[in-house]
Structure 1
Amino acid sequence: MQNIWSISGRSIAVSALALALTACQSMRGPEPVVQSNIPSTYTNASGTSIAEQGYKDFFADARLVKVIDLALENNRDLRTATLNIQRTQQQYQISKDNQLPTIGASGGVLRQDTITAPSPYTTYSVGLGVTSYELDFWGRVRSLKDSALDTYLATASARESTKIALISQVTQAWLSYAFANANLQLAEQTLTSQQKAYELNKKRFDVGIDNELSVRQAQISVETARSDVGSYKTQVSQALNALNLLVGQQVPQDLLPPAHLEKVTNIEAIGTGLPSDLLNNRPDLRSAEYQLSAAGANIGAAKAALFPTITLTGNAGYSSTDLSDLFKSGSFVWSVGPSLNLPIFDWGTRKSNIKIAKIDQEIALSNYEKAIQSAFSEVNDALAVRTHIADRLSAQKRLVEASKATYRLSDARFKAGIDGYLNVLDAQRSSYSAEQGLLALEQANLNNQVELYKSLGGGVKAISSEQLTAEPSTSDLKYGNK
């Protein structure tokens, strides 16, 4: 009978070891089908995507590139994103290490008295042991590791998305500073012109050529222009403060832009590429995809919790009642044994956890589909502006020329005594407004180029020759989706 139990025990041990070594497959189900309902092509799409250009190649001004580099080094949001990556990397390492047994050293001195012993005695022990190592038959620990890996990859992609957004924000803040200065110069030029007009009207009034109304009308223009100068000075300071905040330090004076910029990139043709390029280039979409994969892994872990948890505890070492005999022959001791844990009545808690994990996967799927739709919407919105911005600029430039000509003619007719000063005032206001509108359109044109570059996923690479490869998610590795 003893031999039979010995053979059965060895068979069970060998079977358990074989199961542990084969590491049972994950119980996660197939990934859900993504239905984003996006168009097959962009509106007015053409050429290779500008996202393939590194930001140092895309942006034309060397000062701007240096400012972007400073921001990438010092911006606190990007620094936080980097620290989040390091944190999730350590969490993944913990989940990965949980697949391996934890081995620890132990030692002790026990003083005890028993009925069978003639007197109290001391037992000394020292050894190595495995504490509660879970035999991952059902893939629970493996699923948790997969979820941690996908979460880490999602966090790394989120950091890249933060980088793209930072580059875009820095560039647009840099442009805001430039055009705030351009508007300030325009207001100062207008103020100088209106002061001269006011002095002329006052002289005409003093000698009795005109009445006081012309003087007061000219004074209104002067004070309006003076108010605009103060307003644009405020905007210049605020734009600089915003730029310094994004960069994370004071931007050197020699890196600030001139008062008027005509271009932000040397690229003539603004290409969008194919919709599939967007899915590869946008890190926020990859982050959402990783999160969807992590949700699938959590389902596998929740399903595995329905089955028994089998843990293995073992210890090997030396034990003796005499410290001098602790490491002598005959004092070696060992123990090993599995334990089984299966809650019989948990009132549906584990099944509810599975339902929660499935709902989380549906939420992640919805977020992924929404991220794809939002990305395509951003590109199409930028393209919609791009389609008509050139016509708007041409029309605005013609409006500026016509307004200036009207102002010159009205001023000449006033000085000749043909018309009153009100016509000059209206013409001057129209000319000033048209020039402000042109500056706003020129800024919108440059911002649109930046926005299109960002929405297509540009900015991850520093130079165009860099080769970037996205890591596959655990669902891709399991089902071969990619």
Structure 2
Amino acid sequence: MRYFFILPLVLALSACSLTPPLVKPELPVPSQFPDNVQRTQGLAYGADLDWRTMFADPRLQRLIRLALDNNRDLRVAALNVQAVQAQFHIQRAAQLPGIDLNGAMSRGRMAADAMADGDTASVREQHSVAFGLSAFEIDLFGRLQAQSDAAFARYLATDQGHRAAEIALVGAVADAYFAERLAQGQLQLAQQTLTDWQQSLDLARRLKQADQNSGLDVAQAEGQVATAEADLQSRQRTLAQARNALDLLVGAELPAGLPEPMALDDRPVVMRLPAGLPSDLLLRRPDILQAEQNLLAANADIGAARAAFFPRLSLTASLGFASPAMSGLFDSGRHVWEFSPQISQPLFQGGRLRAELRLAELRKSVAVAEYEHAIQAAFREVADGLAGQATYGSQIDAQARVVASAERRVALSGQRYRAGLDGRLELLDSQRQLYAARQTLLDLYSQQLSNTVALYKALGGGLVSEAADTLAGTADLDGKVAR
């Protein structure tokens, strides 16, 4: 029994760690984004805007909520978090002793010449019950702790990956929704254009009947109407495909009674996100936090690989009772115990341990490069979004003036054509120019919305109300911070 007091002493001594200190690399990007405008006073960072605040369209808000509840890819990401969490608990359990209660009964017959006391052959029984500690490794050099730290970091990385997937889903639903709204707007424009060009065809036919123009004008008008009809079919197909893409992201049948959508030019999104942002804001993005946790895991793997060079001490012990008769199993004098410490030191492994250490160091170098690349990619995404934010408004205003000018030209060309001052070709050209200008304006509205959504995602925003329990949240069973 006295040997069992050795166990707490050994556990107290097992505090050595060979994991190297982690020094995160400096940010491989400038300290400020390329934007000279000062940040708007009182406007939160994109990472601090809830998606309900960001997206003002009530219909889009309902669709995002449905997607967060039903999207299958997001569901897989959530299950992966649970799987990695279970793996972490498995790894952490290796640091604790496993105690089993074992009961056994044996009954057998031995030959007479095999009996030590010369007795005749007989049937003998043996009964036992014991608490056992089986091959518990004392973590003298921190190998198990390093493996547990690596598993925990990978759990946090997966959790951050799940948050990144949520933000990506919010952005994807918004993009798909605006693509559907664009397709709907293009379809309405095609229908309006077809109606206008059919009226122009009717005018050309009436003028032909009055001998005020030639058959060439009628043929041109008929070709123009046929082009509009073909374009209308194309717009209907695009709208159906856009709705299919949105349905896939939502992951559920759209309920009846959804709010009416807002028009693209009604600003269904907060259009002005802050400028003059510091680049270290990127460190709040879930994908960068995920890369950072992967770096921590790779660093912990080095500690485990280093510890593999040193001796391993394991303990096997049992305490219980044994008796040839079940009735006397717990009688006085029937208690038994066994204590078997074992130490092993690697001597020759054919270079395997050194190769494993080298592999762990290389994987850490890869994790550092991936961490830096994630920051650089995020910096570019934000910089691109800020560039779009600075230019799309002025471009849309200019294009709106182009549309207004094209509308005046169509009106004047129509008057001159009906008065016989201009030929059909001038009217045809002005109508086509107006159609193209309106299409371009619709595209710019959609691009501006997509750019704003992309900037919002790049700043790490979208889920404040649902992700308040992130790394600064509740404490894990191990006393560590977890979601």
For 1:176, the equivalent position in structure 2 comes to 179
TM-score scaled to structure 2, two decimals? 0.91
8 Å Cα contact 1:177/1:257 also seen in 2: no
The CA deviation string for residues 111-137 of structure 1, in whole angstroms up to 9 with x for no partner, is: 353431423422111111011100110
Q: Which structure 1 residue ranges, 5 or more long, are not aligned?
A: 1-8
Shift of 1:18: 2.2
Return closer, same or farther for 1:472/1:323 CA change in 2, 3 Å cut-off. closer
1:88 aligns with 2:84: yes
Matches within 5 A, 1:211-290: 211-252=214-255, 254-255=258-259, 257-258=261-262, 260-266=264-270, 268=272, 270-271=274-275, 273-280=277-284, 282-290=285-293
Please tell me the residue identity of whatever aligns with 2:338: S
- Taking the aligned partners of 1:149 and 1:291, their CA distance within structure 2 comes to 10
1:438 aligns with 2:429: no
- Taking the aligned partners of 2:181 and 2:232, their CA distance within structure 1 comes to 15
- Taking the aligned partners of 1:107 and 1:37, their CA distance within structure 2 comes to 62
For 2:336, the equivalent position in structure 1 comes to 333
For 1:25, the equivalent position in structure 2 comes to 16
- Taking the aligned partners of 2:374 and 2:473, their CA distance within structure 1 comes to 19
1:37 aligns with 2:28: yes
1:378 aligns with 2:360: no
- Taking the aligned partners of 1:36 and 1:473, their CA distance within structure 2 comes to 29
For 1:399, the equivalent position in structure 2 comes to 402
Higher mean displacement: 440-449 or 155-164: 440-449
The CA deviation string for residues 197-239 of structure 1, in whole angstroms up to 9 with x for no partner, is: 1111122223322111101110111011111111111111111
Matches within 5 A, 1:316-465: 316-462=319-465
For 1:5, the equivalent position in structure 2 comes to none
Return closer, same or farther for 1:38/1:365 CA change in 2, 3 Å cut-off. same
8 Å Cα contact 2:193/2:228 also seen in 1: yes
8 Å Cα contact 1:174/1:257 also seen in 2: no
Higher mean displacement: 156-165 or 322-331: 322-331
For 2:116, the equivalent position in structure 1 comes to 116
Please tell me the residue identity of whatever aligns with 1:368: Y
Please tell me the residue identity of whatever aligns with 1:350: L
8 Å Cα contact 1:382/1:452 also seen in 2: yes
Q: 1:143 aligns with which of 146, 152, 160?
A: 146
Q: Identity over the aligned pairs, expressed in percent?
A: 35
Shift of 1:342: 2.5
Please tell me the residue identity of whatever aligns with 1:322: A
8 Å Cα contact 2:318/2:339 also seen in 1: yes
For 1:54, the equivalent position in structure 2 comes to 50
Give the SS at the match of 2:266.
coil
- Taking the aligned partners of 2:273 and 2:28, their CA distance within structure 1 comes to 28
8 Å Cα contact 2:45/2:273 also seen in 1: no
Give the SS at the match of 1:438.
helix
For 1:303, the equivalent position in structure 2 comes to 306
For 1:68, the equivalent position in structure 2 comes to 64
Give the SS at the match of 1:303.
helix
Return closer, same or farther for 1:337/1:331 CA change in 2, 3 Å cut-off. same
Shift of 1:187: 0.6
Shift of 1:33: 3.9
- Taking the aligned partners of 1:390 and 1:116, their CA distance within structure 2 comes to 101
TM-score scaled to structure 1, two decimals? 0.91
Q: Which structure 2 residue ranges, 5 or more long, are not aligned?
A: none
Q: 2:103 aligns with which of 102, 107, 110?
A: 107
Please tell me the residue identity of whatever aligns with 1:27: L
The CA deviation string for residues 163-198 of structure 1, in whole angstroms up to 9 with x for no partner, is: 000001101111111111111111101000111111
Return closer, same or farther for 1:463/1:99 CA change in 2, 3 Å cut-off. closer
The CA deviation string for residues 15-45 of structure 1, in whole angstroms up to 9 with x for no partner, is: 7742322332221112144144201101225
8 Å Cα contact 1:26/1:300 also seen in 2: yes
The CA deviation string for residues 446-471 of structure 1, in whole angstroms up to 9 with x for no partner, is: 1221111110000121389x575447
Shift of 1:361: 0.4
8 Å Cα contact 2:264/2:445 also seen in 1: no
Shift of 1:61: 1.8
Higher mean displacement: 108-117 or 96-105: 108-117
Please tell me the residue identity of whatever aligns with 1:200: L
The CA deviation string for residues 122-164 of structure 1, in whole angstroms up to 9 with x for no partner, is: 2111111011100110111111110110000000000000000
Please tell me the residue identity of whatever aligns with 2:283: L
Please tell me the residue identity of whatever aligns with 2:115: I
For 1:204, the equivalent position in structure 2 comes to 207
Give the SS at the match of 2:104.
strand
8 Å Cα contact 1:198/1:218 also seen in 2: yes
